[in-house]
Structure 1
Amino acid sequence: MADSSTARLRSAGCFLGFALGGFFDGILLHQILQWHHLLSNVEAVDDMRLQILADGLFHALMYLIAAMALVQLWRARKAALQPGAGPALWGCACMGFGSWHIADGLLSHWLLGIHRIKVDSPNPLVWDLAWFAVFGLLPLAIGWRMARNHGGRGGEGGGGAAAAAVLSLAALLAGPLAALPAAGGSTQVAVLFAPGVGSGRAFDALSRVDARVLWADRSGGLWIVDMADPAIAWQLYRQGALLVGNSAVAAGCFLWIKAPADRRT
């Protein structure tokens, strides 16, 4: 395959892997496990609305990188049919995935200190180093070896089209997955009130729908409540709510927020 097509294919694989690494981090750590938000350790950001906004902007950046990589992959589609393209593409994707976690560890955890892997751990460095090794160094090493052994013009084997299809599907599904509500039929509902809605007015609005307050952030803008009938939570939009969990209007990281176990009232 032509050198330019080979380079484009490898670049697309690296950027797709990088974006998937970001989605993996955001979906697993920000939403499902809720071990940290993007700006968890930034003391000036004590308003949960800003934390949610930062997480949303982070996911938006991953969407942009994934979209650019998919365009690049489409332009290199003929190169994906050449011998050796499959292992090379998988290798580059692994390197991109590992590169995301290495960059996140070096910049976010240690240089900037905006968050750690598990912010409430008594030994956050242990978690940082374990994550750095397992999801950063290991995929990078595996990917580098695969791409090096099969990155030339002639390598054996194919599979480039299948690799491109699987990686593209993973990138296309990661975005919608990030916007799905948490499963399990929980009666917990997250309610984000508009700026200017005071705590008294918010509490009154919640009492109107028989919501029991579990937790509220310092700003009084974000509330986690328990409702016997979450289906009527949409009525809070009439009382100044911007977003309501379990509502079709809400999306993304917001729908995954739940009350911290040690802060329930």
Structure 2
Amino acid sequence: MIGFALGGFFDGILLHQILQWHHLLSGLDDPAASDLRFQILMDGLFHLLMYLLALLGILLVLRRRQNGLRPDGWQIFRLSLLGFSTWHITDAVLSYWLLGIHRIRMDSAQPIVWDVAWLIMFGILPLLIALRLPRLGGPASFAPSILVTALATGLMAGFGPALSNPNETIVVFRGSISEEAKMRAVLRAGADLRWSDPSGSIWGVSGISFASILNLYLDGAALVSTTPMVAGCLRWTQKS
């Protein structure tokens, strides 16, 4: 929990405030995205969540010490490093590529490059280091880390329906579906075609309802994204 919170603080302080590359909801396709007061408020609530997680982690460490369990310093460092990497992996997969609520560099022509570089540097590399450190003090329980990850993932995923962009949804069809079948699926869903990629597999549609998503899946869609920012990692496929 402490490492997870430190990862959130690291991103929030460095990227939101010092470098100002993005805010928590910079990718929101809504007039609120241009409201600096709103963005600062969301950043503040995000930091409050990280503060509470860090406080809970510290209380748990103190409780273990009161019960006569004294974790080794390397054990605490190793688990904190695991939490730090878990935050960055969770943030990359969920915030960048699934919800699309922000990217590392919002002003970059190739945001995926910055996303992957940041993930490797602060997610994958700390994870590999933590796994190489000696497991002193006995086996560790990863239940708190799983709980924190599930909690943060659920909270961020909750933004999806509330902030969903009703004007555009990305539909990825399976390769075996014909063009005629894809068009019939879109019309059956009551949607309008806005664009498609050169392969014909990725379509941008508008006017879709949540009730139509199931029909698209039944008609051969492999992915239907109604997230705030056009399917995150598929964002680069959109035509200008």
The alignment's TM-score, normalised by the length of structure 1, stands at 0.49
**Which residue of 2 is the match for residue 48 of structure 1?**
36
SS at match of 1:79: coil
Q: Which amino acid aligns with 1:36?
A: H
Q: Distance in 1 between matches of 2:94 and 2:104?
A: 12
* Higher Cα Rg, which structure: 1
Going from structure 1 to structure 2, the CA distance change for 1:102 and 1:80 (only over 3 Å counts) comes to: same
Please show how residues 69-88 of structure 1 align to structure 2 within 5 Å. Answer: 69-77=57-65, 78-80=68-70, 85-88=72-75
Please show how residues 96-107 of structure 1 align to structure 2 within 5 Å. Answer: 96-107=83-94
Q: Which amino acid aligns with 1:35?
A: W
Q: Distance in 2 between matches of 1:67 and 1:113?
A: 28
Work out whether residues 98 and 136 of structure 1, in 8 Å CA contact, stay in contact via their aligned partners in 2.
yes
SS at match of 2:104: coil
Q: Which amino acid aligns with 1:64?
A: L
Q: CA deviation at 1:151?
A: 4.7
**Which residue of 1 is the match for residue 126 of structure 2?**
139
Please show how residues 112-151 of structure 1 align to structure 2 within 5 Å. Answer: 112-146=99-133, 149-151=135-137
Q: Runs in 1 of length 4+ with deviation above 3 angstroms? A: none
Unaligned 5+ runs, structure 2: 140-240
**Aligned counterpart for 2:3 among listed residues 17, 32, 35:** 17
Q: Distance in 2 between matches of 1:89 and 1:64?
A: 19
Unaligned 5+ runs, structure 1: 1-14, 154-265
SS at match of 1:143: helix
**Which residue of 2 is the match for residue 38 of structure 1?**
24
SS at match of 1:43: coil
Q: Distance in 2 between matches of 1:80 and 1:33?
A: 39
**Aligned counterpart for 2:13 among listed residues 24, 27, 31:** 27
Alignment of 1:60 with 2:48, yes or no, is: yes
Identical aligned pairs, as a percentage?
56
Q: Distance in 2 between matches of 1:79 and 1:90?
A: 16
Q: Which amino acid aligns with 1:38?
A: L
Q: Which amino acid aligns with 2:42?
A: A
**Which residue of 1 is the match for residue 76 of structure 2?**
89
The alignment's TM-score, normalised by the length of structure 2, stands at 0.54
Q: CA deviation at 1:89?
A: 1.3
SS at match of 1:135: helix
Q: Which amino acid aligns with 1:88?
A: Q
Work out whether residues 92 and 144 of structure 1, in 8 Å CA contact, stay in contact via their aligned partners in 2.
no
**Which residue of 2 is the match for residue 7 of structure 1?**
none
Work out whether residues 36 and 115 of structure 1, in 8 Å CA contact, stay in contact via their aligned partners in 2.
yes
Q: Distance in 2 between matches of 1:151 and 1:92?
A: 12
Work out whether residues 38 and 115 of structure 1, in 8 Å CA contact, stay in contact via their aligned partners in 2.
yes
Q: Distance in 2 between matches of 1:21 and 1:102?
A: 10
Work out whether residues 36 and 118 of structure 1, in 8 Å CA contact, stay in contact via their aligned partners in 2.
yes
What do the CA deviations read for 1:14-68 (whole angstroms, capped 9, x no partner)? Answer: x100000000000000000000000001021232221111101000000110110
